[in-house]
Each structure stands twice: as structure tokens, then as C-alpha cells.
Amino acid sequence: MTAPPAVYHIRVFCGTTCLYDRRIDVLDTPATEAVPLTIGYNQEVSFEIERPHTGHRLRLSLATEAIAYAGADELSLRVPGQYWFMNEMGESEIRIAEDDEEDALRFTPVARIPVVISPHPQTQAHFEVMISDLTEIHAGLAHDVVSRGMIRRRDVVSHEISELYPETVLPELQRTYNCLAKALEQIGLQPVRRMKRRSQIARYRPGDRLSQSALLSMVRSPGTVVSSSGEVKALGKITLPRVELSEDLAEHRHLAHRIHALSDLSQELARHCSRMAASLAEEQENWGNAGSDQISVFEKRDVPRITHLHSMEHSALHLAREFKRLIERYAFLRVGRPRTRFQPTPIFTGRSGYREAYRALRDSQHLLGVMVDGQSIQVNYRSLAQLYEYWCFMNVIRCLRQILGNPVSNDSFVLVDSIYRPEMKPGQTFEFAAGPKRVIVTYEPSIYDWRTARRRGDRYGATLTKNPLRPDILLEIEAPGRPTMAIVLDAKSTCSFQDRIFREISDYARQIISIRTGVQPVRAVFLLHRDHNRTERSNLPAEWRRRIDSYQYQEIGSIPCVPEQVGTVPETLERLLRRLLGV
């Protein structure tokens, strides 16, 4: 009796309709679909996976979020239908993987199925508003930094952010190129290769490993010739697994992808210089012509700047071409887009050429974060939830600017020509002065367990947990002669807010303590969401809701913070901040 083929059977359902149905031979894993599935935000998606063996845990993930596991003794995994993509947009990926024999925390991919999400119209509108809003907020903050003397006054030729000089970014790009060129030359002498399996239609040869299904295919192949006595005279062609040396490594993909990004950044900088030069040239008519023995204002003020901008444009274009030549020069860089996170790996840290290339790309990472040129914003992540968290944070900053004035200058901002670059990393802080009081706002602070926090010398620690707490936004109010009080704002990117979300968040009000005094500084915790049908909720009666000026009570609630209009702080957020701060 012939044994059944060893295959994974994967099915994806939208409601009762089977959207995806495929059997994957174990020899063909990991398998990657070329054509993505299109799934709408309002479709209930369920999954059914059957596998040929046990002994390993099976994991089902949507992008980087694991949604279900099958035990090591289970042959199938069934996930009931849910609206998995209700609050998402863009692209995602269904990932199926099994844990490693030697390391249960490491998973080996079985299949990857790309997904294109048809978003909720409201989610699409919110996304567009947030992108436009961040551009405007960043430009306004850049003005604040300039006015506080973070860069020299003579470098600022007007009130338009788009008219700042690009001298700061070009030297950084040039240094990055020099380091990469030297590192890649060393890597090119002996690039790392790995054994890679691929499928090939060929004839069987001694040493090939055949599955039961492959043997059956070979017998049925039209090219197989069998004599009347049953003797095999010739074997037909079948799909066979082959092993070859490949330079398609995750490290090479990251190198190529980031070099492409640096080339694109150089081209964008050149385009900006060209636009600025053309804009200045149009001003010639406005100044008129001076006498024959005089120099016009245009010639005196703008012509040198136009010449300088053209020079910068040529330098940026030359640098863009040099980055592209690096890709063309080395065959190991002609690979696809990265599928993993950019991080130190044994190859990046263990070989000198790769180590230098990784260091150069890591040091240039700030160039590829958020770039604002007054017309567009590019975000280095596609997560709508993370974008919403950052949008809420920046709107808190904008609201405090309107209430308390410009923030105190710090090192969180750099002005690079038309590119205004905030740091997109946790721990970014702003400080505002409100008379004798100070208001400090922090983006995603890490609050470690109190023992670790005490060893680190942190101001705050967390109780009843071993993992750090990381609220999205922390506001601290410091006043002379009074203990510090704090407000936690946690962003929840959902268009349908439910009260059960309160039970799913950390108990910031009771878990965060002051290391020095042991008191609980958090006086208010509010969730921000995109559900415009909801009103403000609070655990306190209306007559008790006022500014946080005592330790008598803790307020927990939620408010809708909806991205509806570009350039405007949501009224609910402004009203909440004014009430809690007492301004």
C-alpha cells in the first residue's frame, strides 16, 4: 500500500468562501506565494491547517503577531473567523512556522502568504489626515527649534522650513558612502554564501531524495520507458529538489535595500535643491532691474544662492549615482527586499567587512526615519497602530505649544535643509515651562521593575511585573515644593472602542511608583481612540473631574481622538489637557 504524500494542507476562508487552498509538499518548504490575497476590512477570516507529522509546535501569525498555536501532538490547527483586518491597511502577511528541534523558541517557516488589505474608508481617511498632519506639526516644531537657537541664525534665510540649507545631510551621506564602499570592497573578495534548496524539473540522479509523491510522478512521467518484461529503460523528468550555493542572504538584502534608500534620499535632496533654485529664479521679475552701474537686489542676494543650490544639486545627484553603482558592481547585492528586521546577526558581527557595513548603515539610520519636506512624509513603518500612537503624541505636543508656548530646546530635533528629522525612538522628550511649573512629555518611556530601575538610577519603577511598562505618552507636572504628578495617555487605534479594552491594559496608576519616595505619581490614565461615536468616559462623577492637584483620587477614562481635520488638535484632547493641567 502506497503511503500518502507528506504535505501541509492550508486553507483560508472569508466567511464561507474558500479564498486560498493549497497543498505544500514538505520538500517544497518554505513556500512563498507570488500573488497576494486581497482581503477586506469587513471580512471574517478563518484558517484551517493540516500537517503530515507531529513533534513540533505549529504557529500561525499575521505579520509579526502570533494569533494561534497548535501543540506538538496536534496534526491540525483551526482558527475561527474574526475580523482580523478591521483596523488595518496596506500590506500584511500570513505566516506559518514550526518550532526548531533544538530550540523551541526558534521557528522555521513553512509558508508565507502575502495579503493586501482593502481598508475601511474611515481608516483610509484617518491615515491620510495623520500623514498630512505630521508634516505640518513637524514643520511648526522646526520653527520652534530654530527660534531657540539650535542652529545659527544666519543659516535661516526665511521663515519657510523648505529654505534651510542642505549642507548638514550631504556630508553625512558622503561619509556613509565612503564607509560602505570600503566595506563592500572587502566583502566582495569573499561574500558569505549558503546552501539553498530549489525545485528543478530534471531526471533522477543518484543521491536525489525522493518523496512518495515524487516516485509516483516519475513512474507516471511520459518520458519513463518500461520494457515488456518490466525493466525500466529510461526515467522521465520530474520536479526534484536541488541544492546550490546562493548569495541571497538576509544580510545582503538589508545592505541592498538600505543602499537603494540612501540613493533615493540623495535624489530627493537634489530635486529639492532644483525646486528651490527655480523658485528663487522666478523672483527676478519682482526686483526689477538696477542701473547699469549698480547690482540689483536679485543679483546680490539670490544669484549666489541659486549657484550654491545648483552645486548642491549636482553633488547630491552624483552621490545618488555612486550609491546605485555599488548595487551594480557587486552581484551579491542584486537580491530582493528584506523579509526580516534589521538587527545585528552573526554574519554582521562576526566578519570584519560585514561589521563595518552594518555599523555604517546603523549610524545612517536616522537619515531614513521620518523625513518631512513640506509636501510629503515618509514613515519607516507601515503599522497604522504605531502611526496613530505617534500622531497622538505629536498632537499632545502641538496642543501644549498652543497652551504653554514653545518647548525648551533639546537634542530631539535636527534641521536638514527641507528635511526636518525628529527622533522616532522611545524616550523622546519635550519640556515646557508654565511659570514656576515644568511639564515634561515623553514618548513611550520604558519603566522597569523597581529593583532594576533602582540599579539604573531611574526616577520611576514598576511593581507586580518583571517586564518593563511602556505607556505611549507620559506627562509629568513638576512644581516647586510639591511632589511630581503624572498623566498617562495610551493610544488605541480602533474605530470601534469597547469597554473591555480597559481590562487589557496595564494598571499604570497603581504599578508605577517613585523610586525615591515610593508614592504612585500617576493621577490620571486616559485611552485615546478613533471611535467618533463614543463620548468621554471617566470613573469619576462629573463634579469631581478637575485638574490633578492632589493624591486623593485617580482618574481613569477614555476620549475619542479622531484624525478628522489637518492642522487642528482634536477638541476632546485639548479640553482634556486643559482640564488636567488646570490651564
- Describe the crossing of helices 384-404 and 571-581 by its angle, rounded to 10 degrees: 50
The model's confidence at residue 1, banded by pLDDT at 50, 70 and 90, is: very low
At 274-308, the pLDDT tens digits run 877 777 676 555 444 555 555 555 565 566 677 77
Give how many domains the chain has, as a whole number.
Answer: 4
Q: In which domain, by residue range, is 515 found? A: 426-581
342 and 474 both lie in a single domain: no
Mean pLDDT of the chain: 77
27 and 146 both lie in a single domain: no
Count Cβ atoms below 10 Å from residue 458 Cβ, excluding itself. Answer: 16
DSSP assignment string, 543-575: GG------SS--EEEEEE----STT---HHHHH
CB 478 within 8 A of CB 421: no
Distance from C-alpha of 370 to C-alpha of 388, rounded to nearest angstrom? 14
* 397 within a domain of the structure (yes/no): no
Distance from C-alpha of 413 to C-alpha of 394, rounded to nearest angstrom? 13
At 352-367, the pLDDT tens digits run 899 999 988 887 765 6
* 408 within a domain of the structure (yes/no): no
Cell numbers at 464, concatenated: 507586580
Among candidate residues 463, 576, 578, the one with its CA nearest the CA of residue 525: 576
- SS3 assignment for 495-536: CCCCCCHHHHCCCHHHHEEECCCCCCCEEEEEEEECCCCCCC
Whether the per-residue pLDDT at 48 is higher than 50: the answer is: yes
CB 91 within 8 A of CB 36: yes
Domain boundary (213, 246, 279) is at: 246
202 and 183 both lie in a single domain: no
Distance from C-alpha of 172 to C-alpha of 104, rounded to nearest angstrom? 42
Count Cβ atoms below 10 Å from residue 66 Cβ, excluding itself. Answer: 13
For Cα atoms 493, 385, 514, give the angle at the middle one, nearest 5 degrees.
Answer: 85
* 436 within a domain of the structure (yes/no): yes
Q: Where are the beta strands (DSSP E) in 209-359?
A: 225-226, 232-234, 237-246
Whether the per-residue pLDDT at 380 is higher than 50: the answer is: no
Torsion-angle region of 207 (φ positive above 0: left; ψ -120 to 50: alpha; else: beta): left
pLDDT of residue 88: 75
Cell numbers at 260, concatenated: 537603494
Whether the per-residue pLDDT at 475 is higher than 50: the answer is: yes
At 71-96, the pLDDT tens digits run 888 899 999 998 888 777 777 788 89
Please state whether beta strands 437-443 and 473-479 pair in parallel, antiparallel, or not at all (unpaired): antiparallel
Compare 316 and 228 and report the one with higher pLDDT.
316
* 358 within a domain of the structure (yes/no): yes
363 and 317 both lie in a single domain: yes
Whether the per-residue pLDDT at 415 is higher than 60: the answer is: no
Distance from C-alpha of 215 to C-alpha of 209, rounded to nearest angstrom? 10
pLDDT of residue 419: 39
* 298 within a domain of the structure (yes/no): yes
CA 93 to chain centre: 15
466 and 552 both lie in a single domain: yes
Q: Under DSSP, is residue 68 helix (H, G, I), strand (E, B) or coil?
A: strand
Count Cβ atoms below 10 Å from residue 243 Cβ, excluding itself. Answer: 10
236 and 221 both lie in a single domain: yes
Mean pLDDT in residue range 317-346: 89
Whether the per-residue pLDDT at 13 is higher than 50: the answer is: yes
The model's confidence at residue 321, banded by pLDDT at 50, 70 and 90, is: very high
pLDDT of residue 444: 85
pLDDT of residue 78: 92
Mean pLDDT in residue range 443-470: 88
Mean pLDDT in residue range 237-241: 69
Distance separating the N- and C-terminal Cα atoms of the chain: 83
CB 233 within 8 A of CB 227: yes
69 and 184 both lie in a single domain: no
pLDDT of residue 502: 81
Whether the per-residue pLDDT at 381 is higher than 50: the answer is: no
288 and 436 both lie in a single domain: no
Q: Which of 65-69, 247-251, 273-277 has the highest mean pLDDT?
A: 247-251
Distance from C-alpha of 515 to C-alpha of 76, rounded to nearest angstrom? 49
* 409 within a domain of the structure (yes/no): no
Domain boundary (119, 150, 167) is at: 119
280 and 353 both lie in a single domain: yes
* 552 within a domain of the structure (yes/no): yes
The model's confidence at residue 220, banded by pLDDT at 50, 70 and 90, is: low
233 and 361 both lie in a single domain: no
Distance from C-alpha of 52 to C-alpha of 21, rounded to nearest angstrom? 16
DSSP state of 410: -
Of 1-5, 40-44, 312-316, minimum mean pLDDT range:
1-5
The model's confidence at residue 143, banded by pLDDT at 50, 70 and 90, is: very low
Please state whether beta strands 37-40 and 107-118 pair in parallel, antiparallel, or not at all (unpaired): parallel
Q: How many residues does the chain have?
A: 583
Mean pLDDT in residue range 18-24: 92
Compare 188 and 159 and report the one with higher pLDDT.
188
Whether the per-residue pLDDT at 420 is higher than 60: the answer is: no
CB neighbour class for 141 (10 Å; exposed up to 12, middle 13-18, buried from 19) = buried
Whether the per-residue pLDDT at 183 is higher than 90: the answer is: yes
pLDDT of residue 341: 80
User: In this structure, which amino acid lies at residue 488?
Assistant: V
Domain boundary (304, 338, 372) is at: 372
159 and 202 both lie in a single domain: no
Mean pLDDT in residue range 326-333: 91
pLDDT of residue 159: 30
Q: What is the CATH number of the domain that holds 78?
A: 2.60.40.10
300 and 439 both lie in a single domain: no
Give the chain's count of helices (H) and strands (E): 14, 27
pLDDT of residue 185: 92
* 401 within a domain of the structure (yes/no): no
